[in-house]
Every structure is written in structure tokens, then in C-alpha cells.
Amino acid sequence: MGPLSREAWAQRLSAFRASPSTSMAGPEGEDLGRDLLSDLRSEKLSEQTKVGLQVSPALARVFTPARTELHLRNFLLNSPSQVSLLALSLEYPAQLWPDAATAEAAATSLLDTLVLLPPRPSALRRPLLLAATTALAVGGALGPTSEASCRLLPLLLGLAMGRDLGRGFGPTSEQRPLQATACECLRELESCKPGLLGGSLGLLRSLLGQEGPVQPLSLLLALALRNTLVLQSRAGAGLQGLLMTKVFPTGSGPWDWTLTEDDTHLQPQIPSWPAAERECGAAALEPSLEEAKELRAAVAQLLDTSYLLTPVAQAQLLWLLGWALRGLRGQPPALFKPQLVRLLGTAQLTLLHAVLALKAAFGEALFTAQDEALLLRRLTLAAQHPSLSPPTHLFYLHCLLSFPENCPLGPEGEEAAPLLLGPRLCHGLLPSLLHDPMALLARLHLLCLLCAEDEEEEKGQIQTPQRYLQELLAGLQQRAALDGGPRALATLCFQASYLVARYLGGQPLVLTPLIHGLAKLYRARPVLAPHFVDLLDQVGPELGEPLRVMLWQEVVSRRGTDEALCWHLQLLAKVVDGDSQSATLSFLQDAAAYCTDWVLQQALLRVCRALLRVSGGGGLADLLQALARQLEDPDGRDHARLYYILLAHLAGPKLGVALGPSLAAPALASSLVAENQGFAAALMVQEAPAPIRLSLGPSRAEGPLPVLQLQVEVLQPIYSLELRFQVEGQLYAPLEAIHVPCLCPGRPAQPLLLPLQPRCPAPAQLDVRALYTTPTGLTCHSHLPPLSVNFADLFLPFPQPPEGSRQSFFEDLWDSCLPKGAESRVWCPLGPQGVKPFVSRHLEPFVVVAQPPTRYCIAIRLPPDSRLLLQLDSAQADGVPVALRTDDWAVLPLAGDYLRGLSAAV
């Protein structure tokens, strides 16, 4: 078969992008990658069809952070918005080349296509390089045993060096873009296999002083240098003259893989000082004097040209070099001083982030106290600028909260405000109720750190940070207490309370008013009980214990008839303890009379369960006995009776195990405990092998909807069977479950009827799950083999017209299909049986006009609103021609497959 047309590729790739997994699982999925590689060489497709595409979001995610999108977007944006074969291989390489063998074959084919390109300018060269690189990297084929890798690496290095590789690589005007793309590809391969370019450091360094793309080459050299230093330090070896070696590996000679390591995990290539502190860079490496001199010269050369790079590329370059040289002997951090002077006043957030990363790496060895004070003051003033966008505002606040100090006090990892950041300097950063929630929480975080260092109030100070914090919390609590107020205000109040409890848990001057304020908030809005439960789960005992006591007092002081009884019971189950049990029992006795529905009764029993865990007593036993008699719901009565039995027969430790069975708990010599654990198991739905066999019977061609007949057999008695069906995608409307009270093996069961509601006339697979009860009383669920709904299962007959008008009825249907629909003709072999038995066996319910043995007119209704018409004319000895018409063109291939299947069965 020849190459597909541009329109055919457009439809095929559009369907693939809509659902890659479904497309690859289809009949044409295995051939997509092979057809794509084959048609790339076809001269019948234009280069725009092979390359030109609008940039999709998925394409931007193909490359790791090591590769910028600049070069990729340049060649894609210069082309029309058409279907692209190469862009598909960049967007979905894992789907097209899922293993190393297919990735190796794809990369080889792409390189062959690249070599065969004519010498004229072509838009295919750069995408082909990127596609071959992506196939090797994503498919896991990159390695010394890969022939495509041994072809691609010298080719990329030669292009990056600007060498003349022959007429096949385009005119001189195309060499500079190719050089930039080759650098990007090499950087991606170096990221996937650190140390891959260690033997080419001298060659790459020699290119910096020549004409060529500065940014791709600088980032490539910085990444290769950093990886080599880290790997050599781990191996305990020196640089071994790698910065001075300028031998170019030939295409026929082997590539040097000795410096690479398998399963190497290096630091991500983005500036991130808190995480990067765990990596020691190349501190263990001790280069010789000559190597140290060459290394210093290479780093200085990279830094001197860094101003030519974009801000993002500059930040990445500084981070790579900084963490590569951190602690390296013979490499003073003063190399970065000129860049530091240039960047301290930058307005670019990426560069400011890189400066902070350098500060975290070198500390006082690079930043003086004056530099630290200047940087901290600049961050503080910038964070107060009124025109900042919310993300930028949060960035500055994050930098202040994570500021890397030269000489931090306290243990490593402990959060603290910078020493130079006093209350007066950050007065403009105090949180306010007018700030948006994220900014308020970040400012509150900073305020808590300041309050933690300023425990003693300064004399003569009008408003201390602690007093301001108390006023802020009071304002948040007042807003959260508004009746009918938005839930977001309440959530913000509890988030702020958690921050204060986390950082100021040891300051009673702050916690005491916070506890009283929260108790007052619950008094005003009991509906916030779930928030209080979550807060008690998160905070430590400094706030949790006194807050629990205050909330318990608030609950038991209410009458059990309160409208918020459900919330009171929910909170009481969390805060109840063994002390003052009489007050709790009195509240529960009053509340029991008003627990009339199942929800309230279960909430009441949860409080009783909590009391069982912390204490017992005669009062609780009397309450449980009363509940076992009075509760209207049988489930509630059974639980109350069970709790009473456990309380009467088990001591404290055994009672705790019985109420909270765990697989890790030791087995106790008590039949009650074992019985309770079995009771808990009986309440759980367990997965088990399916004792059910489900098959499809003959479909019913009657009624408004197609109905499947399901034949069910069981291997053991099952009860309360529920069969649930699900169709992948949106082909059918949701299917109702089928319920069967009882099934026994050996006893014939009536067929189960499953109505279908197709949204389009297409076959599908039904995922089947069964939920049932075993004779032992356990509830189990099982996955059954999927059921296939064939195209013929959707056939429905038209209402029979009056006698004498059937021919005109069929002709009207036949004419109404066009021009909207489609028509076709197929040859249907019959075998020795002839046309009449063939129609009687397969199509009898749908025959409208029958003139045996020569002519049959068949009308089939396909839900929801499609039709399929067949005319069998002039039957011959070996077969019959069939004319097909339909008002839905999508039905035509399905009908053809159906008829061919009937012929094959003959």
C-alpha cells in the first residue's frame, strides 16, 4: 500500500491524539509507527505535512528541564498549522517506541532518512535530529551496544562543532541552526546518561571562543562539566586531562562510554537551594595544579559570556557551576564575584533565585555581611511593592522564609527568621485581613517566626509582634463566626491557628487567647465541628490538650435538645475522656431522646464507643442497656447491645483490642474477641475468585432497545447477586445493574435480560463485576471476564408496514439515506446452502420484501437513530451481490465487516 494522503494522515493522527492508548490497542495501532517512518521518506508528501504543526502542550513536555523550548518552537512556529508526522514522534515517543528494540529501529530509520535528504535547504533536518534523540532517550536504547547511538553521537558532536559533514547536511546558511539543535540534543543525552560527554570536554571548551550559538553550547559544556566532576569525585579519580583533550571520536571508532554510570541519580538541573544542600558537589575531588588551572579558566570563560544568555539560561548555568565547584579545592568562589555584582540588583526572578542558590552553596565565602544585609533588605522591600502579582509576591515571601544565612543560629534544619530581619525591617510585611489567603498565610508564617525569637516583650514598644498576632487571630475568628459565612473564611482561620500552634506551641501568652477564641468560635458555629476535629488531629499536646478540655466543656454545657446535636456528638466523640464522666453521660442521656434517625443514633453510639476505650463504669452500662431497648433502628440497638456485652465481659486492654481489631494486634485467648474480629470481617466486602460463569445467549430483536440475554451458571450457592456492567468510553449510556435473589448449581436459571442504550451504533466490551453473599454469610465481589457486544446484537426491526405497501415503504427508506449517508456493494459467498437459508438463518426478523429465491429487501434499525438497508439481488450459485445503504457513514465499515464475517462462517 502506498503512502497515505495528507487528509488521511490528518484523520489518523487526530484520532490518535484524541486517545493514544485506545488507538494503539486498535487494529492499526501496531502499524502506526512503521507507517510514520515509511511515509517520512515519501516524496508524495510535502515537508509541511511532515513537519509543520502548531505547538501543542504535550510537545513542550517531551524534553526534560535540561532542554529549552526555544529551538523547538522556532522551527515549529515557522510552519503552517498542518498535520505533522515528526511532531507526533516527539509528543508520544513512549507510545510509538515502547521498548528498546523498537526505539533502536526507529532511530536507525530516522538517521537513514536524514542522510538521504537532498543538499538543498530542508525543514526536516532539525526535527529528524530531535526525533532520533528522543527515540533513543525515551525508549531506553541509549548505550554502547546500540548502533544507532554510535551513529548519532559522533554526528551530533560534529554538527555542534560546526564541521562540514557533507552535502547531505544542507547549505552553509543552515549550519548555525543545526549546530544549536545538535547542542540541545547532546544536552538531553547527557542528562539521560551522565558522563556521556566527559571525554569531549576539551572539544566543547574549544568551541566557546569560536563563532556559533553561545547559549546552547554554554549550557551543554556546563552540564557535562558538572556531571564529570561529580562522577569523578564519587570514583575518587581526577579530571585526567579531560579539559585539555581535543580528540574527535570518528564515526567508525567506538564512543567512550567509560565515564558513564548506570542508575546514576544526580541533582535536578534547576536552582533549588534547600534540597541541594544535601549534595556535596565535587568536594571529594582533588585536581592537580594544572587541572585546577584549566578548570578555573573554563569556569571563568563560561561566566564571562553568561550575560549573552537569557535569564532562565543564566540561572541554570550559575546553578550548575556553583554546585559543581562547591568545596572543590583550588577553585575559590571569588570566580562568581563579578556575576554577583552584576546580579544583586536584577529584577529577574530567575536570576534572583540563582543568586540565592549561590549563597546557599558558598555562604560567607562569597557573600559578605554587607552583601547579605543588602540582599535581605532588597527582598523585604520588594515583597512590599503594591503592584506585585500574587505569584511574585509569594515568591519573595518564600525567599524570606527560606533565606540562606551565612551563619545561622540553632540546629540544622530548624526554621527561623533571618537574624537581620527584625520587627522594624519587616513592619510592612505584617499580615492583614485584606490580603488574599495565600499571602496572608505566608506573612503569618513569617510573623510566627519573628514571635518565636521575640518571646520577651520589648519595653516601650507600643505594639509587639505577639499583640499584633493576637489581634489578627481575633479578627480571623470573628469572620469565621459569621452565621452563614463562606466556608473559605473558616478554613483560613483554622489554617492560621495551625501555623500558630506549630511555631508558638511553647508560648502561653499566645496559646491562651487562641484557645479561648476557638472555644468561642465553636460556641457561635457548631457546624465547624469537622474543622475542630481535623485541627486536634494535627496539633501537638501544647494546644491539643487544653483545647480539648475547653471544647468538652462547651459541648456538655449544652442541652441535648440543641439543633446542632449532630455536630456536638461528632466533636464529643473526639474530645471525650475518662475524667468527669458523669457530665458526659448526663448529656448523652438527654440527647438519646432526640436521636430519632439513623445518623444521630450512630453519632451517639460513636461517643459511647469512645467512652468504652477510655473508661467504663456503671453509668455507661446503664446507658447502653437503655439504648439497646429504646433506639428505633435495629442496627443501633444491635450496636448498643454489643457494646454492653463487651463492657460487661472484658477488661481494659482486651476491650481496647476488641473495639479496634488490627492485624498487628496479638491474638487474645478470648472467644469474644475472636467472635468480634469475625464480625468485623463479615462486615467487609472481600474480593474472591468468581464462582459465576456468564455467557451471551441469542439477542432479542424486538422492542425499542436491543436486549442482551445472559446465561448464568454458578459453582456454589450464592445469594443476593448483583451484576454491574460498565462500558469503556461514552459508547453506551450507563447500564442498570441486574439483581438475582438466589442461584444454585445444577438448577437451571432463567436468562437475565440486559437492555442496552447505545449512543452510537458500535460494538463494545462490557466490564462485569459481581457482588454477592456466600452461604457462610460473607459479602464478596469478583471481576468476571468481559462480555463482547457484537454489531449484530444491536439490530432492531422496523415496524411492519401494512400488506401491499412494503415495497414502497422500503423504497422510501432507501431513498432517504442519501445524500447524507453512504452506500456500497459487497459480494457475499453463499456456499451450497443458497440465499434463502442464508437469509432465514441470519436476517429473517428484518426482511421487509421477500421474492425468493432472487430478491430480498432488508431494513435494520440501529439505535439510537441510524438505519442499515440491504438489497440481495440476482443470487448466483456461489454467492449474491449485496447493495448497502445507510444514513450514517460510520455504520458502513461495520456492516461490511459483519457481512464478511457471515461469508467466512459459510
- Characterize the bridge pairing of strands 707-714 and 752-755: antiparallel
CATH of the domain at 735: 2.60.40.2550
Q: For 441-491, how does the pLDDT look when each residue is reduced to its tens digit (9 = 90+)? A: 999 998 888 888 765 444 445 568 888 899 999 999 999 999 888 889 999
Residues 447 and 550 in one domain: yes
Helix (H) or strand (E) holding 316: helix 311-325
Q: Is the pLDDT of residue 663 over 50?
A: no
Q: What's the distance, CA 627 to chain centroid? A: 48
Task: Out of 267-276, 728-737, 755-764, 813-822, pick the least confident.
Answer: 267-276
Domain closes at, from 792, 811, 831: 792
Judge whether 828 and 899 are in contact, CB under 8 Å: yes
Task: Out of 1-10, 23-32, 192-201, 859-868, pick the least confident.
Answer: 1-10
Residues 843 and 876 in one domain: yes
The band of 10, judged by pLDDT with boundaries at 50, 70 and 90, is confident
The band of 72, judged by pLDDT with boundaries at 50, 70 and 90, is very low
Segment 212-228 shows an average pLDDT of 89
In a 13 Å sphere around the CA of 152, the CA atoms on its Cβ side amount to 36
Torsion sign across C-alpha atoms 662, 663, 669, 671: positive
Q: Is the pLDDT of residue 53 over 60?
A: no
Q: Which residues contact 641 (CB under 8 A, 6 or more apart)?
A: 624, 628
Q: What confidence score (pLDDT) does residue 725 get?
A: 92
- Domain assignment present for residue 420? The answer is no
Structurally, how many domains does the chain consist of? 5
Domain closes at, from 491, 525, 557: 557
Of 653 and 762, the one with more pLDDT = 762
Torsion sign across C-alpha atoms 363, 365, 367, 370: positive
The band of 543, judged by pLDDT with boundaries at 50, 70 and 90, is confident
Q: What confidence score (pLDDT) does residue 372 get?
A: 84
Torsion sign across C-alpha atoms 885, 886, 889, 891: negative
Running DSSP on this structure, what letter comes out for residue 5?
P
Task: Identify the burial level of 648 via C-beta atoms within 10 angstroms of its C-beta, where 0-12 means exposed, 13-18 middle and 19 or more buried.
Answer: exposed
Distance CA 134, CA 87 (A): 11
Residues 725 and 750 in one domain: yes
Residue with cell 571529594: 284
Segment 564-574 shows an average pLDDT of 90
Q: What confidence score (pLDDT) does residue 26 get?
A: 73
Nearest CA-CA partner of 319 in 345, 369, 346, 281: 281
Other C-beta atoms lying within 10 Å of the C-beta of residue 5: 12
- Domain assignment present for residue 204? The answer is no
- Domain assignment present for residue 705? The answer is yes
Helix (H) or strand (E) holding 706: none
- Domain assignment present for residue 567? The answer is no
Residues 440 and 545 in one domain: yes
Q: Is the pLDDT of residue 440 over 90?
A: yes
Q: Which residues contact 341 (CB under 8 A, 6 or more apart)?
A: none
- Domain assignment present for residue 634? The answer is no
Distances (CA, A) of 787 to 225, 763, 764, 766: 58, 11, 9, 5
Residues 825 and 889 in one domain: yes
- Domain assignment present for residue 888? The answer is yes
Which amino acid is it at 35?
Answer: D
Segment 617-638 shows an average pLDDT of 85
Nearest CA-CA partner of 424 in 371, 372, 465, 374: 465
Can you tell me whether residue 599 is helix, strand or coil?
A: helix
Q: Which residues contact 899 (CB under 8 A, 6 or more apart)?
A: 826, 828, 882, 884
Judge whether 218 and 205 are in contact, CB under 8 Å: no
Q: For 874-887, how does the pLDDT look when each residue is reduced to its tens digit (9 = 90+)? A: 777 678 888 889 98
For 200-203, the CB contacts below 8 A with 24+ separation are 200/157, 200/224, 200/249, 201/225, 201/228, 201/242, 201/243, 201/245, 201/298, 202/242, 202/243, 202/244, 202/245, 202/246, 202/247, 203/157, 203/161, 203/245, 203/246, 203/247, 203/248
In the sheet with 764-773, reading across from the earlier edge strand, the strands are 685-687, 779-789, 764-773, 718-727, 738-743
Q: What confidence score (pLDDT) does residue 83 get?
A: 34
DSSP for 91-118 reads: H-HHHHS-SHHHHHHHHHHHHHHHHTS-
Helix (H) or strand (E) holding 125: helix 125-139
User: What secondary structure, in 3-state letters, does 818-864 show?
Assistant: CCCCEEEEEEEECHHHCHHHHHHHHCHHHEEEEECCCEEEEEEEECC
Residues 822 and 784 in one domain: no
Q: What confidence score (pLDDT) does residue 823 get?
A: 87
Residues 443 and 531 in one domain: yes
Q: For 240-282, how does the pLDDT look when each residue is reduced to its tens digit (9 = 90+)? A: 667 776 666 654 455 777 777 654 555 445 545 444 444 445 5
CATH of the domain at 830: 3.30.310.10
Judge whether 194 and 264 are in contact, CB under 8 Å: yes
Q: Which residues contact 279 (CB under 8 A, 6 or more apart)?
A: 267, 323
The band of 311, judged by pLDDT with boundaries at 50, 70 and 90, is very high
- Residue 720 pairs in a beta bridge with none
Residues 699 and 760 in one domain: yes
Residues 472 and 548 in one domain: yes
In a 13 Å sphere around the CA of 170, the CA atoms on its Cβ side amount to 17
Judge whether 85 and 12 are in contact, CB under 8 Å: no
- Domain assignment present for residue 23? The answer is yes
Residues 480 and 548 in one domain: yes
Domain closes at, from 792, 811, 830: 792
Residue 720 belongs to domain spanning: 686-792
Residues 758 and 716 in one domain: yes
- Domain assignment present for residue 546? The answer is yes
Nearest CA-CA partner of 625 in 640, 607, 604, 606: 640
Q: What's the distance, CA 446 to chain centroid? A: 32
Distance CA 140, CA 97 (A): 10
Q: What confidence score (pLDDT) does residue 47 get?
A: 60
Residues 484 and 504 in one domain: yes
Q: What confidence score (pLDDT) does residue 202 get?
A: 84
Q: Which residues contact 417 (CB under 8 A, 6 or more apart)?
A: 446, 449, 450, 452, 453
C-alpha cell at 903: 461469508
Q: What's the distance, CA 652 to chain centroid? A: 46
CATH of the domain at 477: 1.25.40
Cα Rg, the chain, nearest whole Å: 38
Judge whether 180 and 213 are in contact, CB under 8 Å: yes
